[in-house]
Structure 1
Amino acid sequence: MTSSASPGLSRLNAAAPSAAAALLHEVCSSTAWGAAVAARRPYGQVDDLLAASDRAMAALTPADLREAMAGHPPIGRPKPGDPASAREQGGVEEAERAELLTLGLAYQDRHGHVFLICATGATGAQIKAALQARLGNDEDTEREIVRTELGKINRIRLGRLAATAQEDPS
């Protein structure tokens, strides 16, 4: 670890294994991803952490991806009391939530898991268009799209973790 490490990165590097696992679980619900990222500590720079995340994401099995997706609420219904969920779905207008939830449930019936998209900065219309476009995808195509979207989400969340000196209540 270098002295230029950000406060949150220093906190992750110094955390006991169980505390590091808990921090990383807030980023991604995949146990395999969290273990792989934790195993590469300490990180000198945020870019090193992001690269480790990308490598771990590429190695996830379909079961690991399902575990990761299980930690995400449906689009249109942010997890109550979860500021990350509310922030990430912040571009969705209240009037759009019901339609996105209905489409998301149709997607879930078809694919067996929640519709996963990096919603940060996306409007409800953009999310709806992606959802409609992906409804008909085959399992292999959708799994790789989910892997890419989850990787984007993890990078955003890791950047936030690395920049935060302590637990972020918001």
Structure 2
Amino acid sequence: MTPTSTPPGLARFNELDEHAALAALLEACASTAWAERLLAARPYATPEDLGAASDAAMAALTAADLEEAMAGHPPIGRPAPGDPTSAREQRGMAGASGELRAQMLELNLAYQERFGHVFLICATGRTAEQMRDAVRERIGNPPEQEREIVRTELGMINRIRLDRLVEED
């Protein structure tokens, strides 16, 4: 690959028809506004360009757009059946004790009651204990601060998912 050539996985994404590309983006993030912004900016020369476009689109999301994006995420510790992406990302919960799982369920419910949406964290590479500690720490945040933390976490999740989308075979 020459320095100016587009990586094969990204080239495949760039060449998808609009419907297929939108579907792939919505699988990465349930926000229609985010997906449409990324779709409109194709083609991308590098994965970094795609990531930068994702970050810019994430920064532009309204509160309603963030709600739509969060609705696509299951609670930590309870990935949706048949959803290998969430299961992979939440792998840190797989070996958690029954006690820790019960704590996460209780904390998830308290968080959702306080903020009106699931607790969202970039779970990739985190242990069950780290996720539990994060929800404990964040549940006391003011809603405005928590919304910006969620935006940052969602941005990290989207970057990981986009990297997987355009990785080479």
**If the TM-score is normalised by the length of the shorter chain, which range does it land in?**
over 0.9
C-alpha deviation, 1:107, in angstroms: 0.2
Provide the rounded CA distance (Å) in 2 between the counterparts of 1:4 and 1:161.
Answer: 18
Residue number among 91, 99, 110 corresponding to 2:114 in the alignment: 110
Counterpart in 2 of 1:126? 130
C-alpha deviation, 1:85, in angstroms: 0.4
C-alpha deviation, 1:3, in angstroms: 6.8
**Is 2:147 the partner of 1:143?**
yes
Q: Describe how 1:1-170 pairs up with structure 2 within 5 A.
A: 4-92=5-93, 93-95=95-97, 96-165=100-169
Aligned-partner residue type, residue 104 of structure 1: N
**Which range is displaced more, 96-105 or 122-131?**
96-105
Aligned positions, number: 164
CA contact (8 A) 2:26 2:35 kept: yes
CA contact (8 A) 2:96 2:128 kept: no
TM-score computed with the length of structure 2 as normaliser: 0.93
- RMSD (CA atoms): 1.3
Counterpart in 2 of 1:168? none
> Between the two proteins, what is the percent identity of the paired residues?
61
Aligned-partner residue type, residue 42 of structure 2: R
Provide the rounded CA distance (Å) in 2 between the counterparts of 1:164 and 1:26.
Answer: 18
CA contact (8 A) 1:77 1:97 kept: no
Provide the rounded CA distance (Å) in 1 between the counterparts of 2:151 and 2:73.
Answer: 13
